[in-house]
Structure 1
Amino acid sequence: MLDTLISFFFIGILPAILGWVYAWLAWSGRYRRWVRTSAIAGIPPMFSWHKRNYWPFLSAAIGTGWMLMWAFSAVDYLYPDQDVLAETLLMVGVGIILVLGSWWPEAWRPQWHKDWVARGGDRNRTGTPLFSDEELIDRGKLPHGAAEKIQRQQERAARKKRR
């Protein structure tokens, strides 16, 4: 029984945790370069008909489905008389992978991703900056004097709009 639980952890839970960590880094905006790529590690996204790459978000759904499918195996092995529970875990896992793997709602995107798309970003346009000027100013990532220059340009543009 202990061997089964250990193998379930390394085969079922650990890959799910890695998928969740990858998705969290992408969701929080700490890792953004993935939005420009049409392929992750040389492998095109599973569902590449989307204009944008949603792979990190899908990895959380795939990790959850993977974990539930392996939970099916563990329950089926440890408790062979619990067919309904085992099959429910399998069906929920497969359903999560199929539904969220082929459809990702636009409203579920994080705010930084929505802002990037509003600036003209998609995976075919690699020149769109990943960070807005405001984010760069807040992070202190601009060279000395650049933040003031950008703010003056924004103020001029706002004055021109008012006229």
Structure 2
Amino acid sequence: MIRQAKKSDAKQILSLSEKLAQESNFMLHEVGEQQLTLAQQESILSDFTLSNSKAFWVLEVDSSIVGFCIGVGSIAKRNKHNLYCVMGIQTAYTGKGLGRELLISLESWAVQHGFTRLELTVMAHNHKAIKLYLSHGFEQEGIKRQSLKIESEYVDEIYMSKLLT
């Protein structure tokens, strides 16, 4: 099931974030790096719930949250139409079309809230994610060279976007 996150999901989302960091090198934060308390995560989720400029979708399987897709809108007038996307799914649930369903949910929400552009970055070696984004209509715009450093190696990120109008 795909649904918008609730404040009561905070504990599972914190756990998921740590699992994703352990499973792969594709997430921004390393294992143990993200030090949010339960109260902080609850506050973040409450803020999303009340907002028209950001959305937090979760993928729930058997009452467990196993993935998410977040969209955060810009606040300046000149780029208020942009929605920056972040997503993560536990490895066991990838390759089943669930990432596509998360993107569809976020895109539908974005259109309803007046966004006309989705954008994201993806690590250049994350071939599965790149394939997903391309198949969903995203296009590559550029490369952020040596954007990240993972285990003493520099990693490029690909900047991608999808126009909704």
Q: Same fold (TM over 0.5)?
A: no
Bin for the TM-score computed over the shorter chain:
under 0.3
**What's the TM-score once normalised by structure 2's chain length?**
0.24
Query: Which entry has the higher C-alpha Rg, 1 or 2?
Result: 1
Higher strand residue share: 2
